[in-house]
């Protein structure tokens, strides 16, 4: 009965911009209203943890731990928790550590993966097929399997509690090499052949022909790698001890045990840690979503 009106994939389904408006107006059916309600309830639910953390962070510690719980505290909202956390804690230092290490991971990963992917896609060298197989095969290695030997290796490299110790083991991204190779495969060879005939070397072709054409995929890979590195917990957790060397995610874990039951401060710290990526996301929503879906899909 409802079949005729419920149209999850009618012609309006595609992203709004390329859909003529006359079609959109046609379908204001009961089922579309129902679907809107469902999606609204769902997304409201998804926002609750953010909202609750924000409300708590702006309460005083006494209000945050008071029963029955309130949404608007009697004594009003306050910045106390944020002020305390920023004064006493290491959050600014950890944010810097995270920013520095994630940026370094992203840059190094981009450079080494792009070069390797270009060779795998375009250059006929002996052993290319073997290399390709080895790289694809390495996708199967779960990072946790490596933590024990890698930790031992970092000890002998004297890299415990150093930025390099955090950064270097994170720069190998076989999946990203694969994504980039797939992209390079699609660039018409004629563009390069013309340059080759003109006497340009491989490096110049790579730099002047291939890279400029690859901006979208480079951005996508960079976004993907950066988010992964920014949020990585296990490896920085293992390779750092010194409180001044921790990254944000790892630092937060120590706050939890150090502050104990200071709920407002816990939430203020969590929000401060979440803020940078959320702000970046709000500005570059379109690019990030595109980046995640292309790399996420192609990376498999």
Residues between 75 and 104 that touch other proteins (CB under 8 A): none
Alpha helices per DSSP H over the chain? 21-26, 30-57, 61-64, 80-88, 91-122, 128-138, 143-156, 163-167, 174-186, 189-197, 202-205, 211-213, 215-231, 234-239, 248-259, 263-283, 285-298
Joined together, the tokens standing for residue 287 give 């690019």
Binding residue (CB under 8 A) for other proteins from 107, 115, 187, 209: 115
The end-to-end CA distance of the chain, in Å, is 41
Joined together, the tokens standing for residue 25 give 């107006």
Shortest distance in whole angstroms from residue 83 CB to other proteins: 19
Nearer to other proteins, 83 or 141 (CB): 141
Residues in the chain: 300
Nearer to other proteins, 92 or 296 (CB): 296
Angle of the 80-88 helix axis to the 263-283 helix axis, nearest 10: 90
- Sole window of 72-80, 81-89, 211-219, 272-280 interacting with other proteins (rule: CB under 8 A): 272-280
Total interface residues for other proteins by CB under 8 A: 115
The residues in 196-235 that bind other proteins, with binding defined as CB under 8 A, are: 196-199, 201-203, 206, 227, 230-231, 233-234
Specify the residue for token string 């150090």: 258
CA torsion through residues 196, 198, 202, 206, sign? negative
Nearer to other proteins, 179 or 252 (CB): 252
Binding residue (CB under 8 A) for other proteins from 3, 20, 87, 130: 3
- Answer whether 126's CB lies under 8 Å from 168's CB: no
Nearer to other proteins, 187 or 274 (CB): 274
Binding residue (CB under 8 A) for other proteins from 20, 21, 68, 87: 68
Nearer to other proteins, 48 or 212 (CB): 48
Binding residue (CB under 8 A) for other proteins from 60, 93, 153, 287: 153
Shortest distance in whole angstroms from residue 246 CB to other proteins: 11
CA torsion through residues 12, 18, 23, 25, sign? positive
Shortest distance in whole angstroms from residue 116 CB to other proteins: 4
Over the window 21 to 40, marking each residue x when it contacts other proteins by CB under 8 A and - when it does not, the resulting string is ---x------xx--xx-xxx
């Amino acid at each position: 009965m409802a079949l005729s009106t419920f149209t999850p994939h009618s012609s309006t389904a595609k992203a709004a911009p390329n859909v003529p408006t006359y079609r959109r107006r046609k379908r204001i059916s009961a089922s579309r209203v129902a679907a809107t309600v469902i999606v609204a309830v769902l997304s409201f639910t998804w926002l609750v943890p953010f909202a609750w953390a924000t409300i708590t962070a702006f309460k005083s510690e006494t209000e945050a731990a008071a029963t029955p719980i309130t949404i608007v505290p009697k004594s009003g909202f306050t910045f106390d928790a944020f002020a305390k956390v920023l004064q006493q804690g290491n959050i600014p230092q950890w944010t810097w550590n995270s920013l520095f290490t994630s940026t370094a991971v992203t840059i190094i990963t981009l450079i080494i993966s792009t070069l390797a992917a270009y060779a795998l896609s375009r250059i006929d060298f002996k052993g290319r097929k073997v290399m390709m197989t080895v790289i694809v095969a390495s996708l199967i290695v779960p990072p946790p399997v490596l933590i024990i030997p890698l930790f031992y290796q970092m000890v002998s490299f004297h890299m415990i509690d150093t930025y390099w110790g955090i950064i270097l083991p994170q720069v190998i991204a076989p999946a990203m090499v694969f994504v980039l190779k797939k992209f390079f495969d699609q660039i018409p060879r004629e563009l390069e052949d013309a340059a080759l005939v003109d006497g340009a070397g491989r490096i110049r072709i790579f730099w002047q022909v291939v890279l400029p054409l690859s901006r979208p995929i480079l951005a996508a890979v960079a976004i993907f790698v950066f988010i992964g590195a920014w949020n990585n917990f296990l490896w920085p957790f293992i390779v750092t001890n010194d409180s001044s060397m921790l990254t944000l995610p790892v630092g937060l874990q120590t706050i939890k045990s150090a502050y104990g039951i200071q709920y407002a401060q816990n939430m203020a710290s969590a929000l401060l840690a979440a803020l940078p990526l959320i702000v970046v996301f709000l500005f570059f929503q379109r690019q990030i979503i595109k980046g995640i879906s292309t790399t996420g899909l192609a990376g498999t």
